[in-house]
Amino acid sequence: MAQSKQDAQRKTKAGEGAAAKQKQLESFSQGPENLLTTNQGVAIPDNHNSLKAGVRGPSLLEDFILREKITHFDHERIPERVVHARGAGAHGYFELTRPMGEYTRADFLQEAGTRTPVFVRFSTVAGSRGSSDTVRDVRGFAVKFYTREGNYDLVGNNIPVFFVQDAMKFPDLIHAVKPEPHNEMPQAASAHDTFWDFASLMPETTHMLMWVMSDRAIPRSLRMMEGFGVNTFRFVNAKGVSHFVKFHWKPKLGKHALVWDEAQKIAGKDADFHRRDLWESIAQGKFPEWELGVQLVSEAKARSLGFDLLDPTKLIPEEMVPVTIVGRMVLNRNPENFFAETEQVAFHPGHVVPGIDFSNDPLLQGRLFSYTDTQLSRLGGPNFHELPIN
C-alpha cells in the first residue's frame, strides 16, 4: 500500500517535471520577445546559476553566460564628467516661430512651424555626481537638436559670460575650483583659497564673479533659468553672407532664485531638489518652455561696438543689440533610462549643421578640441555617436 502511494507520487512529480519542461520549450518557440537570451541571441532558461564541475564543484570558466553577465557588470559604469558631472535631462521639441533664411541656411530655421526634436541636459559645474543641486554654481544648459541635416548642439550656461578669455587657462580654472587636493573639500563650491588665488591673479574673472555671486547662481528651478550660448558663433546664409550671433534661452515662467539660506537648507534636506522638480513637472503635464532669441551683428557693425565681440568675458548689452525671438522650446517627456540618456549623452559645440559656423573666439576654439577629446576618454572610444541618445 505504502509502495503504491510512493510510486504514484513519483509519477506525479515526473509528470509535473515533464509539463514544466514542455512549458519552457513552448515559451522558447513563441518568438524572441518572450525569451531570455544572451547578447548574441542564444535562448537560455535562466541567468542565475553558473556552470559547475559536478554538484558541488567549482564554477567553470567556459560558462560564457556567466562571463558575459559579470563582464557587463564590471564595465557598466563610465567615468563621470570632469565638469558638469551632476545633471538632469528631458526630451522635447523646438518650434520655429520666425523664419531665419535671411541670416542662415540651417534647414530647421527656415520655415515657421517647423518642429525639431531636442534633448536638453541641465547641470551644475564644479560638483561631483553625488553633490547637491542647490549649491552656488554656474549651471550648464545644453541642447541637442536632432535636425534633418544632422545633430546640432547648442552647449551653454545660465550665465552669459565666462571666467577666462582663452581656453589655455581653462584647465587652471577647473583645477582651482575643484575641492582642495589634500582633503577633497569643499564639495561643489568655490569657497576656498585655491579658487580665490586664481581669481585674484586673473582680473578677467571679475565680470563672471559678479554673476556667480548674484541670485543667478542659486536658481529656484531649472524651469526658471535663462540659458546662453556664451561664445560668439556665426550664421551663414545661402549666399555665404555671415553674421555674428549670440544665443539666448528665455524661460516662460520667468527668472526666479532661492535666497542663500533656503539654498543651504534644501541642500541638506533634498539633494535632488532641481532634478525632482523638473521630473515631476513634466510627469504632471506642466511642461517647461523657453523662447530662443538671437543677437545678430554684421561684421561691419562688430568693429564699431567698442569692445571685442570675441571675448567671452563680455556680453552685448541688449540696448545696443536687441534680442530677436525666433522660436520656442518645450520639454514634454522624461528619460526612460537616466544612464542611457542623461549620462551617456555627448554634447559638443563642434556639432553644427550647414548655416551655423564658428567664430575666432579663443575659448570656443579650445572647446572644439576639448569636447571631442573628453568624450573619447569618457565614453570609451570614437564610436560614442552610435549610442542611441547621440
With respect to residue 137, please indicate whether it lies within any of the assigned structural domains: yes
Residue 188: left if φ>0, alpha if ψ -120 to 50, beta else—which one?
A: left
My answer on whether 241 and 341 are in the same domain is yes
Calpha distance 19→177 (Å, rounded): 66
Regarding beta strands 139-147 and 115-124, do their DSSP bridges make them parallel or antiparallel, or are they unpaired?
A: antiparallel
pLDDT for 55 equals 87
pLDDT digits (tens, 9 = 90+) for 292-347: 999 999 999 999 999 999 999 999 999 999 999 999 999 999 999 999 999 999 99
Containing structural domain, residue 378: 87-386
The pLDDT of residue 194? 95
310 and 255 in contact (C-beta within 8 Å)? no
Residues 172-217: tens digit of each pLDDT? 999 999 999 999 999 998 889 999 999 999 999 999 999 999 999 9
Q: Does one domain contain both 358 and 223?
A: yes
Residues 13, 158, single domain; the answer is no
Q: Band of the pLDDT at 16, cuts 50, 70, 90? A: low
Spatial separation of the C-alpha atoms in residues 345 and 339, rounded to whole Å: 9
pTM for the predicted model, two decimal places = 0.88
Residue appearing with cell numbers 520577445: 33
Tell me which residue of 364, 328, 377, 361 sits closest to 116, measured CA to CA. 328
Q: End of a domain among 17, 46, 74?
A: 74
92, 148: one domain: yes
| Helix, coil or strand: residue 200 | helix
Q: Does residue 8 surpass a pLDDT of 70? A: no
Question: Do residue 132 and residue 247 come from a single domain?
Answer: yes
Q: Which of 14, 42, 74 is the last residue of a domain?
A: 74
Residues belonging to the active site: 84, 157
Condensed to tens digits (0 to 9), the pLDDT of residues 43-94 reads 999 999 999 999 899 999 999 999 999 999 998 889 999 999 999 999 999 9
Written as one letter, the residue type at 26 is: E
Kindly report the CATH number assigned to the domain that includes residue 244: 2.40.180.10
Q: Which SS3 state, helix, strand or coil, does residue 2 take?
A: helix
- Is 79 part of a structural domain of the chain? no
- Are 25 and 120 contained in the same domain? no
The answer, yes or no, to whether residue 5 has pLDDT greater than 60, is no
CB atoms inside a 10 Å sphere around CB 20: 10
Element (H, E) at 267: helix 260-269
Q: Which residue has the cell 561631483?
A: 128
- Of 27-41, 123-137, 346-360, the poorest mean pLDDT is in 27-41
pLDDT at 24: 53
Full DSSP string of 316-359: --TTTSPPEEEEEEEEEE--S-TIIIIIT----TT---TTEEE-
Domain count, the chain: 2
What is the CATH number for 60? 4.10.91.20
Picking from 43, 74, 105, the residue at the C-terminal end of a domain is 74
Note whether residue 292 is domain-resident.
yes
